[in-house]
Structure 1
Amino acid sequence: MNKNSVQGWTRRVGLPETVGSVPELLDLMADRHPQKRFIADQLGDSATYAEACERTKRLARGFSDLGVTKGDVVVLYMGNSTDMVMCMLALGRIGAAGAPINTEYKGELLGYVVNDTGARVAVVDEELCEVFQQTRPLFDALSAEAGGKVVVRGAVNGGADLVPFHTVSTARPLHELVPTDPSSLFMVNYTSGTTGPSKGVLFSNGHVLTFAHDWTKCMGSTSDDVLYSPMPLFHTLGFILGVISTLLKGGAMQLDRRFSASQYWARAIECGATLGHAVFSMIPFLLKQPPSDLDRAHGMRGIWTGPSGYAKEFHDRFGVRIYEVYGQSEIGVATFPVDWDKVPAGSCGQPNHDRFELRIVDSTESPVGPNTSGELLVRPREPHTTMLGYLGKPEKTVEAFANLWHHTGDQMYVDDDGWYFFVDRAKDMIRRRSQNISAYDIELVINKYPLVIEVAAIAVPSEHEDEEIKVCVVVDGGFGIPAFIDYCRGALPRAMVPRYVEIVEEIPKTANQKLAKYKLKEFGIAGMTGKTYDVERGRYVAG
């Protein structure tokens, strides 16, 4: 796209700045606010806008020296840190794409995602290096034999293919930007699949910028705001709706390593936060904390995102507004309240008309009327505002955008006044501990346990805001639940370890031999029976 085309695009999509890429935006903000703090992490590493610009220029050269070029994908297996932010922004300067990976992935899951990226270079934190190196025999392009390079942030103990981070971060600055525009790839983010492996969502510069802009519009954020975020940077909330939204407004962001209900307000006060990040399951935990003088000692006015059903209770106690919206990584923010003071309890807002067309349809894709549940379909009004597709999975991209509408897979309804209400999650996706988890990924690992013949993972109700994982297993002789859970804890990320286990004689199937999971959810009460073992409480539940 030429300069006039980019300017026309930014005007049509409503961006406040006439830039067509994230690296251009950083350069602009470094010129405008050179000495203003941009980002800081929990260990005290911070950067002003000018310092961030300089650091990313050095890293851009360092990555180039490793052979990274435009269109390449680089894996970032890192915890929240200022360095991780700098790596993502630096890769954009040379037209490459960062792929932040869930730091709890290990073994088969880590191997699958790394290979799916096709990356030849990875940046790994020292404390994660052992897990990463143990998985390298499963890697393709990133294997030592294939010439893959692993940049280690911290002490390096290993072979010649391990590169110290400081040699990359202290390279001579690369001042020239590789030409990119709203249509150019900026990052790859892995979102959980519903009936298959996790898919890499291809984010263009345009998608990232408009997604972040809609967040700033919803929150009413300004250059004076300080955002406190305990969300991981491999999550779109942490990076796109955190780092990039802050960058768009010239504000400041404070990263935290992880969420702590007991320390949330203290840390918000410490950094002077005016806005906060949370997700649905975190809100009840904050409300369950004992009353404290800190409840009203902070300067925070809003949290994204939480259930609007808690909005009044939360505001009465903490003086903070909860913002409930609906969105997906593939599209961005599809609904949000136009008038926050009139939101009906349970509603996720009204259509983001400036960005999308919305339609709720039945199984034949015919539109349904008000107060009737159906699948939400979404399509953009302008190009470069939704995903480029799924990495290496063109058939899944076509499937998602069948009939030129993005199929969210989520059930919703709209009332007579135009307010949208979320009804149910996409088939086979489990929402647990603020993460969308693929049942397929859980089953892939559990099926490798020697005494499991067959497994089906389903979502069951939780006493908290999200869902819990239950696995139904057909087993061989000698199977024991304690040993099985020990295996799961060693092979799966924490959020994927099942809370409930039930031994069954068979997994029900459809006529074409697919798992009929809906039948498992009909057993007992919402899928819970007297034979369901509660791992957390160490006993069987009452069906």
Structure 2
Amino acid sequence: MARERDFTDPRIPNRDECVLRYLLDRWADERPDKAHVVFADGEEWTFSELRKKVRAKAAGLRELGVRQGEHVAMWLPNGRDALIAFYAINYLGAVFVPFNTAYRGNLLRHVIANSGARILLVHPDLLPRLSEVDTAKLERLVVTTGQLPESAPLPMTAYDDLVGDSEDDLPLERPIDPWDIQSIIYTSGTTGPSKGVLSSYLHMFTNAGPESWPMVDENDRYMCVAPIFHIGGMGPPFVMLARGASVAMIDNFSTDEFWSIAKATQSTMVFLLGVMATFLLKADPKPSDKDHTVKKAFMVPLTSDAQAFHERFGVDIYTIFNMTEISSPIVSEANPDRIGTCGTVRDGVDVRLVDANDCEVPVGEIGEMLVRTDRPWAMNSGYNGNPEATAEAWRSGWFHTGDAFRRDEDGYFYFVDRVKDAIRRRGENISSFEVEADVCRHPCVREAAAIAVPSEYSEDEVMIVVAPVPGKAIDCKELAEFLIEAMPYFMVPRYIRILDELPKTPSAKVMKTDLRAEGITDDTWDREAAGLRVKRENFST
């Protein structure tokens, strides 16, 4: 028998399908003994056990005065405390506001002020950084891990003491609705102060719900290696909770231990972001490469190594385009054969590629991606405390992603670049993403960033900044010769700079603004100065 609907609009799911509190209660009643969370050390929490832990911590938060709709900040690494805090904050109908554990200085000051939180759950090792900044509206620190330190910039409560009655059903002022704000996730801030993305429960649900990720079902176990302060780390527990499924919470990504941990936790799906797939594929082959339980993997971006990864590890590969603000508008089928694609538009989404005046560009041409959804509240609700940025992003009734794409005649989309990262060299538009993909095919390159630097002629020259695979060295001349054979003449980088690590934001995005500002440094290798020139191909007959 179908359940009675909570809402008359058929596009809005019931509360117990998309709101965290009601989802947890539903599965704790219907599937009390099914594991929802497993850890690398073998510990498991069933839905019933998890609800008791969450209710006890939520009751403790309520005793501190946390109320429905209040913003509660969390500054914790991945682990049991962080997951329980996330669920407990939402169980009260409060807004979960996680901070990146790398934050400090001006960035930390900014997010504290923007969050509007008066309570911060924090790891004791991070407390010294709080002493260096204005703590704005913060009134109390809830400190994890053992005994409270002797001093702190604000009154403290021990996290372990924050416990109430696990049988308390914690009555609410009103039901939590799908359009209520669930979280504020801070973006990387590569071109300005980090923006706090306001996400509703319905946004989080649509982000990876049945219509967005149809390849995931209740029998899957999602191995989460991303930090919980990113959408990539906070989203998986929510994704699997919505399906009554499970998640393996892992502290961090490790190339050497990845497959053994996946097997030990019986994980069936993973998300491979950035260089993670590259690290795994460039590791030495082993007889045990297929001895694991993983069946499905998202690979973002989809590189030319995708087929080799599928064959070597026996994993079906999917790819996707998404960002914190939207809800998976572009998703691929299993093992797509169009390298570089992000997939096609899923049901319930409209996508346009436009020029600088928001006019649609023809098929095959490059334009900024604009997105909107059929379902209300299925994307971000704006930027917290930043109406100017909200208005700019949502102008004309479409969300402007800031990403440049092209679309082929079959409806497949291909990421080209961040709009502000495009390179133009001698009349040709160059995708830094495509340059980086070719550079990373070299066996000694772990990661790469392509940037524009001034040319003595006109427009730009292409420069790449690369980091080596551990234990290997990059020879600039050999790399340039490799690229001459791999890419069109106009894309071949003139300049190569080698760093041990590329500079990154606290959300692990490469700081191209810093690299561009440094420009051509004394340690930069110049292909033309080395006598290695690339001539334009002549196809005339």
TM-score above 0.5, yes or no: yes
Contact 1:20–1:181 under 8 Å retained in 2:
no
Matching residue of 1:412: 405
> Cα 1:498–1:411, aligned 2, differ >3 Å: closer, same or farther?
closer
2:148, 2:53 → 1: CA distance?
21
> 1: distance between equivalents of 2:169 and 2:66?
16
Rounded Cα–Cα distance in structure 2 between residues aligned with 1:386 and 1:50: 31
2:231 alignment counterpart: 236
State yes or no: 1:285 paired with 2:245.
Answer: no
User: Partner amino acid for 1:391?
Assistant: N
**Structure 2 counterpart of 1:479:** none
State the AA in 2 paired with 1:182. P
Task: Count the aligned residue pairs.
Answer: 458
Other-structure match for 2:298: 304
Match of 1:350 in 2: 344
Which of the numbers 131, 135, 143 marks the counterpart of 1:134? Answer: 131
Alignment correspondent of 2:525: 541
Query: Does 1:268 find its partner at 2:265?
Result: no
RMSD, aligned CA: 3.4
TM-score (norm 1): 0.77
Where does the alignment leave 5 or more consecutive residues of structure 1 unmatched?
440-457, 466-484, 503-516, 521-526, 534-539
Cα displacement string for residues 241-288 of structure 1 (whole angstroms, at most 9, x for unaligned residues): x10111112222111111111111111111111111220211111101
| Secondary structure at the counterpart of residue 248 of structure 2 | strand
Shift of 1:198: 0.3
Structure-1 residue corresponding to 2:21? 23
Cα offset for 1:500?
11
Q: Is this contact kept in 1: 2:76–2:122, CA < 8 A? A: yes
* Counterparts of residues 128-167 of structure 1 (less than 5 Å): 128-131=126-129, 133-135=130-132, 137-142=133-138, 147-159=139-151, 161-167=155-161
**Is the CA contact (8 Å cut-off) linking 1:194 and 1:426 kept in structure 2?**
no
* Among candidates 195, 199, 202, match of residue 191 of structure 2: 195
Q: Is the 8 A contact 1:265 1:294 kept in 2?
A: no
Alpha-carbon offset, residue 75 of structure 1: 1.1
Distance apart, 1:66 and its partner CA: 1.0
Structure-2 residue corresponding to 1:365? 358
> What is the CA deviation profile of residues 498-519 of structure 1, one whole-angstrom value per residue up to 9, with x for unaligned ones?
79988xxxxxxxxxxxxxx6xx
Scaled by the length of structure 2, the TM-score of the pair is 0.77
> Aligned AA for 1:12?
R
Q: Deviations over 1:25-59 (max 9, x none)?
A: 11111111101111133455542101111111111
1:84-483 aligned at under 5 Å gives the runs 84-131=82-129, 133-135=130-132, 137-142=133-138, 147-159=139-151, 161-171=155-165, 173-178=167-172, 179-214=175-210, 218=213, 220-240=215-235, 242-308=236-302, 309-337=304-332, 339-354=333-348, 356-427=349-420, 460-462=464-466
Distance 2:192 2:467 in 1: 28
Give the aligned residue type for 2:254: S
- What's the offset of the Cα at 1:304? 1.9
Q: In the TM superposition, what is the alpha-carbon distance from 1:65 to its structure 2 partner? A: 1.1
Judged with a 3 Å threshold, the aligned counterparts in structure 2 of structure 1 residues 294 and 105 are, in CA distance, closer, same or farther, namely farther
Distance, in Å, in 2 between the alignment partners of 1:315 and 1:386 is 32
Q: Aligned equivalents of 2:162 and 2:75: distance in 1?
A: 16
AA of the residue aligned to 1:321: D
* Pair 5,252 (structure 1): closer, same or farther in 2 beyond 3 Å: closer
- For 1:186, what is the secondary structure of its paired residue? strand
Q: Which amino acid aligns with 1:541?
A: W
Give the structure with the larger helix fraction. Answer: 1
Deviation at 1:369, TM superposition (A): 1.3
Shift of 1:204: 0.7
Structure 1 residue 8, shift from structure 2 partner: 3.9
Q: Distance in 2 between matches of 1:409 and 1:499?
A: 15
Contact 1:126 1:155 in 2 (8 A): no
CA contact (8 A) 1:372 1:414 kept: yes
User: What is the match of residue 40 of structure 1?
Assistant: 38
Are 1:183 and 1:205, in contact at CA under 8 Å, matched by a contact in 2? yes
Which residue of the other structure, out of 72, 75, 87, is the alignment partner of 2:73? 75
Structure 1 residues 72-93: Cα deviation after superposition (integer angstroms, max 9, x where no partner): 1111111111221221111112
CA displacement, residues 175-230 of structure 1 (integer Å, 9 cap, x when unaligned): 0352210110111100123532000001111111111315x853622222222121
CA–CA distance in structure 1, aligned partners of residues 412 and 306 of structure 2: 16
3-state SS of the aligned residue for 1:330?
Answer: coil
Which whole-Å deviations, capped at 9, do the CAs of 1:387-437 have from their partners, x for residues lacking one? 1110000111111000000000100011011111111024269999999x9
* Partner deviation per Cα, 1:453-477 (whole Å, 9 max, x = no partner): xxxxx99554689xxxxxxxxxxxx
Residue 173 of structure 1: how far off its partner (Å): 4.4
- The alpha carbon displacement at 1:345 in A equals 1.4
Distance 1:424 1:332 in 2: 19
Shift of 1:322: 2.2
2:11: which partner in 1?
A: 12
Relative to structure 1, the CA distance from residue 4 to residue 16 in structure 2 (aligned partners, 3 Å threshold; closer, same or farther) is closer
Q: What do the CA deviations read for 1:141-165 (whole angstroms, capped 9, x no partner)?
A: 12xxxx3333334331135811111
Whichever residue aligns with residue 103 of structure 1, its letter is T
CA–CA distance in structure 2, aligned partners of residues 81 and 501 of structure 1: 32
% identical equivalent positions: 28
Match of 2:415, SS?
A: strand
